[in-house]
């Protein structure tokens, strides 16, 4: 199911598809949201990001004086991310996008002039410094502190699950500036130099064997007052406003799960079980058909959500339902693929006998992350039940 089929978006989609095919860098295909593996990939990713901005495929919703389009159509942003996902090309870093929208909505003119052109030109890579060991799904419980000291704020604390933290030039930081205020009210947002004294970044080695996330420690890090985004205590509102931009990525999630199903079918055609292609087995065909029905259902759900969102009629349950449907189905597709491989399901990248170069093992190990990142499945179900269906709150 293709979002925008039969509408004027079709011509735009063809245009974007041709651009991506001509310009996107080609990296090894890995599941999920991954960081560049070396400086070569980093430079190529930043160059690719700059090309997307220059072509008007990113940043179209920015102010016109910073490269935006006066009559911006938000549905085009969805198409762009779908086509990047379909080409298995690197997705531009979300940290830079989130920071840009925070600055556009709440930053000073000096902050916008300094950072927005640099983001567009691929000269700055940002990371998102939100989550903490005890503040993930309940982000408002964050403990990293910022204490005013003359013309500076002094930062102490820890962040974790920071994608691209080891590559980033700058961080979009949330810290608690008023410990006595209600937890949603005492948070402020800052621009943080990731190379400032007292900032320590430690890459986390993951199940996949790569280091895409990091933990970041702050020890008496001094940040000038002009680095605050917005006003003191405004951080929660700023974060929620910028995070709303992530709705553009719903279409890319749908495309990725559709492609996972297509890859699973290809594997079933080439994989031999008892001397026969796996797809010739009745139970395999039935499972593939059942997965296809679920893929179409998730796509229909997500696309209906996007249409309501573009019309300003979205519901509190739309984003949680789309996220829950995608992440859980993506996990089950990977689990089934690994089980279908039998004994070869334990072989990973680098093993000569690995099926599809270990693609399914990588997908399986990463898939669980999607059910946690951006709000765990349990939290999504609670939002749907409590806020959407009006069911009693879960006992705390």
State the Cα–Cα distance between residues 166 and 162, nearest whole angstrom: 9
**Beta-bridge partners for 157:** 218
Residue 37 annotated in active site: no
Contacts of 222 (CB under 8 A, 6+ apart): 149, 152, 153, 154, 155, 196, 197, 198
Name the residue with tokens 């102490």: 156
Active-site residue identified among 246, 335, 349, 386: 246
Give the active site residues: 246
């Amino acid at each position: 199911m293709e979002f925008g089929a039969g509408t004027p978006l079709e011509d735009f989609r063809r245009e974007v598809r041709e651009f991506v095919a001509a310009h996107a860098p080609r990296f090894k295909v890995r599941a999920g949201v991954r960081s560049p593996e070396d400086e070569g990939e980093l430079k190529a990713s930043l160059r690719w990001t700059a090309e997307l901005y220059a072509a008007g495929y990113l940043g179209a919703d920015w102010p016109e004086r910073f490269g935006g389009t006066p009559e911006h159509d938000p549905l085009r942003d969805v198409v762009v991310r779908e086509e990047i996902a379909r080409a298995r090309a690197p997705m531009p870093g979300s940290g830079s996008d989130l920071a840009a929208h925070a600055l556009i909505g709440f930053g000073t003119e000096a902050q916008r002039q300094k950072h927005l052109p640099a983001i567009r030109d691929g000269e700055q890579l940002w990371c998102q410094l939100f989550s903490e060991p005890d503040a993930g799904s309940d982000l408002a419980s964050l403990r990293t502190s910022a204490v005013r000291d003359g013309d500076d704020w002094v930062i102490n604390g820890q962040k974790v699950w920071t994608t691209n933290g080891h590559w980033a030039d700058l961080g979009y930081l949330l810290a608690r500036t008023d410990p006595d205020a209600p937890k949603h009210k005492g948070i402020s947002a800052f621009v943080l130099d990731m190379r400032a004294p007292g900032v320590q970044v430690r890459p986390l080695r993951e199940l996949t064997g790569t280091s895409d996330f990091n933990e970041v420690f702050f020890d008496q890090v001094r940040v000038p007052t002009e680095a605050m985004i917005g006003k003191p205590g405004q951080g929660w509102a700023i974060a929620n406003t910028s995070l709303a931009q992530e709705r553009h990525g719903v279409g890319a999630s749908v495309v990725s799960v559709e492609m996972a199903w297509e890859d699973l079918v290809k594997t079933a055609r080439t994989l031999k079980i008892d001397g026969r292609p796996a797809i010739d087995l009745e139970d395999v065909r039935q499972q593939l058909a059942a997965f296809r029905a679920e893929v179409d259902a998730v796509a229909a759900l997500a696309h209906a959500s996007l249409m309501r969102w573009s019309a300003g009629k979205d519901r509190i349950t739309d984003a949680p339902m789309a996220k829950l449907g995608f992440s859980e189905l993506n996990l089950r597709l990977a689990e089934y693929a690994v089980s279908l491989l039998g004994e070869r399901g334990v072989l990973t990248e680098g093993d000569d006998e690995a099926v599809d170069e270990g693609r399914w093992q990588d997908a399986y190990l990463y898939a669980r992350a999607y059910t946690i990142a951006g709000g765990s499945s349990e939290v999504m179900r609670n939002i749907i039940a409590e806020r959407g269906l009006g069911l009693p709150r879960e006992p705390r």
